[in-house]
Structure 1
Amino acid sequence: MNSRPTIQSPIPMPDLPKLSPITSTWMKELMGKSLLISELIEKHGSPINIHQPDAMEDNFISYHKVFKDFGLKHKIFFARKANKTKGVVRKANSIGMGIDTASLQEYQQCIEMGLDPSDLIVTAAVKNKKLVESAVKNGSLIILDNSDECELVQRVAMDQERSVDIAFRVSGFLAKDQKLYSRFGFDIDEIEDFITANLLDSDHFNLLNYKGLHFHLNGYSIQERGIALTQCLALAQKLLDKRMKTEFIDIGGGFLMNYLESELEWDYFNQQLRLAVGNKREEITFENQGLGLHMSGGVLLGQLKTYPFWSPVTKGEFLRGILSSQSQSGKMAGTLAKEMGIEIRMEPGRSMLDQVGLTIAKVAFRKKDQKGNWLIGLEMNMTQMLSGSADFLLDPYVIYQNKKAQAEPVEVYFTGAYCLERDILLKRKIALTQLPNVSDFVVFVNTAGYMMHFFESSAHLFPLATNLIWNRKSGDFEIT
């Protein structure tokens, strides 16, 4: 059970919880240009995704500084799956990042854009023959997940008469006397024997050039990532004793970012959600959905199944926590990696896109349902702002075409265009200063990381949202 403390605030909190998003200057500037937004929606349809990739620089620096503090050789790869636009890939490449590709299409597009194949890695969960052929031909490193992939890569390398750089994804790390389960990767307790049997004691995989180890953990635990890193370092030492050098360890992604201005608002929302699900106050989510919480036998069970939208330790400081983890020798993991001459790699996605994008949708209708709730229908669908999180817990902005001086506040739900009862864009009830009119605009900020594209579909033959990059200096917008 996930309990939170009682909120004792010197500032009176509103009855309906607010979750105020951190909003960058460029976003506020754009939202002040209602006529321009109207023109963009008229030209490209609703919704539109607008990006400002320059914001990636600060996110990159946050990580780079920590590596520099540790004196570590490092390489940062942008997790391409977090956003499909070419503009963010170009920006990542221009500031010195590699690109982590998770499909044939992602990989080929990077090649077509002229990126150096040595700056690309292939981490796809399923690697078909065409993807492997392309990666081997171009000389990009492939992260191998299982023995069948090893066989496939070996056959392709034989066909092309060339060797290929590879790393092994590992999992099953021991934390608090229990193995961390993952469906991905080789078990860390078995990979040493596998490497010994197939790369050292035989030439079975003679065309696979071992370069390093890779892991990617579910969730957002600094401690578990630190444990994984220290256990990979121990494995690297065992391999070195067998004269097999580990050049790098890739610690994957899942580095937290913070979306919200106020920890107090976050705690108050959590408190009020628990009260609502427990039927101790009126609902604050559509049909009183618990977002992971539920009542059973009069007892509140479960935990919030959303991204932790408020987090005090993020980006570079999150990385610092991992590198500061203590190894069995008593040394920090980052210090030990430096002494062993091992490069540390990482693959941030969401956190590299903090403050990079927003989504704007047009109001199509307003109506009251049978319960008296205001429903605001938008010209977008739920897949156009969707991730693995049970909800996107940020308050949106509304751009009113006719802002009233003395308006009546209203509480609303935003609904989408799919013919599904569950197409509720935000599960939370949102407090607004006035009821939006048809053709007003609703702005969801900080959506570039996973929210825009990861689950976007074109059911009903709806077109996918247009993705734009805004050049603030020229005022131009480029489709990306």
Structure 2
Amino acid sequence: MPAYPDPELDAVLGGRLPHDLAYALGGPYHLLLPGRFDANVAAFRAAFAEAGVDGRVYYAKKANKAAVWIERCAAHGIGTDVASLGELREALGHGVRGEDTVVTGPAKSDDLLRVAVLQGCLVAVDALDELERITATARATGRTARVLLRRLPPEQPHSRFGLTGGELGTALDRCRADDGAVRVEGFSFHLSGYAVQPRADLAGELVELCRTARAMGLSADRISIGGGFAVDYVAAGDWARFLEAHDPADYHARKSFNVGDFYPYHSPVAGADALRAVLAARPGGTGAPLADRLRAAGVTLLVEPGRALLDRAGCTVFRVQGVKERGTPAGTGYGILTVDGTSLSLSEQWFNSEYLPDPVLLPAADRPTDRAADRPADGRTPADDPADDPAGTPFRACVGGASCLESDLLTWRKIAFPVRPAPGDLLVYPNTAGYQMDSNESPFHDLPLPPKVVIETTGEQPRWRLDRRPPS
């Protein structure tokens, strides 16, 4: 299932640079393309402008730890969404102002609340006891705490995030009776999934909550709908064919996956277009579109995309260390590649799922590329090639990591590579910047964490530097 064509990335991968970096860094690495992040930010801002809505973009920092994204946030004047004291320090340290930072996450620590209040961050309050603690922090520091009250989605009553309707009423009463330590600037929600209409429905409810809060004397002039803007990785036809033909026989050891657990790698409405769709939707299915309601109420819309701002902004590169075969009958055998890293660098594999966009094979520049040279030394054809097949028949293989765990497979699916891979070749997993390349990475077996390499493509030749944040 190939990812969409990417001429800019192909230009980077088509030269010596990927192999030179593999040699210099001595292991797997991640490539980052900050120009793509800039373009995605611009697309979200354009969606707000087209709808005539006052909107603010906050980058969800949890999607990728690299410093370059925070540097770009500061350069563009957009905010960050953080959920820990460490993330907040990183954002502040790379130039994002506290007033441009939203602090989310459940049951925030007292240290996080203290720094957030001191720096003027906007805090999404998730529970009544958290409201009590942030109020006490504000009084102790002599500051005013800026808060959003997070609404529990009625359609997802079992979510652990947010205040019920009754709790929300109690919170508003407490804030109205407060002596000014807390300023309620609006409301927010955390909604699982990528559907447009539920976001518009709940956003419409929050607009009305702002009107209710204002009638109580509270400021309430903004709402946050969080993230959940899908990324479109592959073409509709490829995705449909995969879903139709999906079978355990396509995976190493007949691994069984639930199709419903896969990320929706094709999305007809994605990124900034998904924001446009939310703004154009009619909350509750009737009345004025959400954009009109926001304008009429004078409410600012905050969004916190992570994956969507990182679409096509990076890829992950592994070096092939070994190739073995399982079975020889035509059509049933396949290869097992082992690369110089682990599946911890592709987070999807550790959630009973699979990262489905196909890796791209970059043969080593110093090895022959004709099929005869790619055959094993004993003269047999590749595992799934009968002896009388044309020389160009693809070599099907799964991809394993370098650890001693049976479950350490980067790709359980048997990928059809155009030639038989060989040690020294590179495998490039496309579009991995969003949530893939460091959510679960670990120096297991004392293997070093893959470094992040920032690529600049504005000149005649791509230039590179290491991301300023060391792997952690």
TM-score, with structure 1 as normaliser = 0.86
92-101 or 219-228, larger mean C-alpha shift: 92-101
Instruction: Report deviation, 1:366.
Output: 0.9
Residue 291 (structure 2) pairs with residue 310 (structure 1): no
Deviations 1:39-78 (A, max 9, x none): 2112222210011111123222322222112211110001
User: Which residue of structure 2 aligns with residue 95 of structure 1?
Assistant: 76
Look up the equivalent residue of 1:248 and give its one-letter code: R
What residue in structure 1 maps to residue 302 of structure 2? Answer: 345
Percent sequence identity over aligned pairs: 26
Tell me the amino acid that sits aligned with residue 432 of structure 2. T
Between the aligned partners of 1:193 and 1:27, the Cα distance in structure 2 is: 51
Residues 1:79 and 2:70 are matched in the alignment: no
Report the equivalent of 2:161.
Answer: 184
Which position in structure 2 is the counterpart of 1:397? 360
Residue 291 of structure 1, aligned match among 252, 257, 281? 257
Task: Return the offset for 1:128.
Answer: 1.3
Give 2:359's aligned amino acid: P
Which among 446, 449, 461 is matched to residue 431 of structure 2? 446
Asked whether the equivalents of residues 471 and 477 of structure 1 are also in contact (C-alpha less than 8 Å), the reply is yes
Instruction: Name the structure 2 match of 1:367.
Output: 324
* Aligned partner (choices 225, 230, 245) of residue 199 of structure 2: 225
Which of 325, 336, 344 pairs up with 1:383? 344
Q: Is the 8 A contact 1:363 1:379 kept in 2?
A: yes
Aligned AA (1:181): H
- Residue 56 of structure 1 contacts residue 354 of structure 1 at CA under 8 Å; is this kept in 2? yes
User: What secondary structure does 1:22 align onto?
Assistant: coil
81-90 vs 371-380, greater mean Cα deviation: 371-380
Name 2:187's counterpart in structure 1: 213
Q: Is the 8 A contact 2:334 2:414 kept in 1?
A: no
Match status 1:457 vs 2:437: no
For residues 331 and 114 of structure 1, the distance between their equivalents in structure 2, rounded to whole angstroms, comes to 39
Partner of 1:172: 153
Offset, 1:441? 0.6
1:455, distance to aligned residue in structure 2 (A): 1.4
CA distance in 1, matches of 2:96, 2:159: 32
- Map Cα deviations across residues 1-37 of structure 1 (whole Å, 9 max, x no partner): xxxxxxxxxxxxxxxxxx110242231012112x322
Partner of 2:244: 271
Superposed CA offset, 1:109-160 (max 9, x none): 1212232221111113342122112111211111111122222212222221
In the alignment, structure 1 residue 26 sits paired with structure 2 residue 8: yes
1:426 is matched with which residue?
A: 411
Question: Over aligned residues, Cα RMSD in angstroms?
Answer: 1.9
Counterpart secondary structure, 2:159: coil
- The alpha-carbon distance between structure 1 residues 403 and 479, as it changes in their structure 2 partners (threshold 3 A), is same
Q: Would the aligned equivalents of 1:23 and 1:355 in 2 still touch at CA under 8 Å?
A: no
Mean CA deviation greater in 49-58 or 59-68: 59-68
Deviation at 1:82, TM superposition (A): 0.5
1:104 to 1:403, Cα distance in 2 relative to 1, 3 A: farther
How far apart in 2 are the matches of 1:404 and 1:192?
Answer: 65
- The 8 Å contact of residues 85 and 467 in structure 1, kept in 2 or not, is answered as yes
CA drift of 1:191 comes to 4.0
Inter-partner Cα distance in structure 2 for 1:236 and 1:338: 13
Question: What SS class does the counterpart of residue 183 from structure 2 fall into?
Answer: strand
Look up the match of 1:46: 27
* Aligned positions of 1:121-200 closer than 5 A: 121-174=102-155, 179-187=156-164, 189-200=165-176
Q: Equivalent residue of 2:413, what SS?
A: coil
- How far apart, in 2, do the equivalents of 1:416 and 1:138 lie? 43
Kindly provide the amino acid, as one letter, of the partner of residue 463 in structure 2: D
Q: Measure, in 2, the Cα distance between the counterparts of 1:241 and 1:157.
A: 24
Structure 2: unaligned runs, 5 residues or longer: 372-390, 468-472
| TM-score, normalised with respect to structure 2 | 0.88
Aligned counterparts of 1:288 and 1:207: Cα–Cα separation in 2: 59
Contact 1:325–1:332 under 8 Å retained in 2:
yes
Q: CA deviation at 1:403?
A: 4.5
State the SS of the aligned residue for 2:90: helix
- 5+ residue gaps in structure 1? 1-18, 278-282, 293-302
Aligned to 2:278: 322
Equivalents in 1 of 2:5, 2:342: separation in Å? 23
CA deviations 1:265-310 (Å, max 9, x no partner) are: 111111111xx25xxxxx1122333321xxxxxxxxxx42111111
C-alpha spacing 1:325/1:190, structure 2 compared with 1 (3 Å): farther
Give how far 1:337 is off. 1.0
The 1:336/1:90 distance shift into structure 2, 3 A limit, reads same
For 1:20 and 1:306, the matched residues in 2 are separated by 16
